[in-house]
Amino acid sequence: MLLFDLDGTLLTSDKTISAATLDALAGCRSRGMRIGVSTSRGEKNCMGFLPQLRPDVAITSGGALMHVDGEIVLRVEFSEAETASMIRTARQICGADVEITVDTPDAHYWNYTVDPLAWDKSWGGSIFTDYSDFTPAALKLCVQVFDPETAKRLAAAFPDCDCARFSGSDWYKFTKRSATKENAILRLREICGIRPEEIIAFGDDFSDIGMLKLCGTGVAMGNAIEAVKAAADCVIGDNDHDGIAVYLQEQLLK
- pTM for this prediction: 0.94
Strand 200-203 to strand 2-4: parallel, antiparallel, or no bridges (unpaired)?
parallel
Does 154 have pLDDT greater than 80? yes
The superfamily CATH assigns to domain 2-76+179-251 is HAD superfamily/HAD-like (3.40.50.1000)
Compute and round to an integer the Cα radius of gyration of the chain: 18
The residue-averaged pLDDT of 131-155 equals 96
Mean pLDDT along residues 147-158: 97
User: Is 35:29 a contact under the CB 8 Å cutoff?
Assistant: yes
pLDDT one-digit tens code per residue, 24-68: 999 999 999 999 999 999 988 887 787 888 999 999 999 999 999
Domain ranges of the chain: 2-76+179-251, 80-176
pLDDT per residue as tens digits for the range 173-191:
999 999 999 999 999 999 9
Q: Is 162 exposed, middle or buried (0-12, 13-18, 19+ CB in 10 A)?
A: buried
Dist. CA 125–CA 146, nearest whole Å: 25
Q: What is the pLDDT of residues 61-96, one digit of tens each?
A: 999 999 999 999 999 999 999 999 999 999 999 999
Sheet holding 2-4, edge to edge: 71-75, 65-68, 57-60, 35-38, 2-4, 200-203, 217-220, 234-235
Q: For the domain 80-176, what is the CATH code?
A: 3.30.1240.10
What's the confidence (pLDDT) of residue 4? 98
Out of 51-60, 194-203, 232-241, pick the least confident. Answer: 51-60
Q: How far apart are CA 151 and CA 32, in angstroms?
A: 44
Name residues whose C-beta falls within 8 Å of residue 162's C-beta, 6 or more positions apart in sequence. Answer: 62, 174, 175, 176, 177, 178, 179, 180
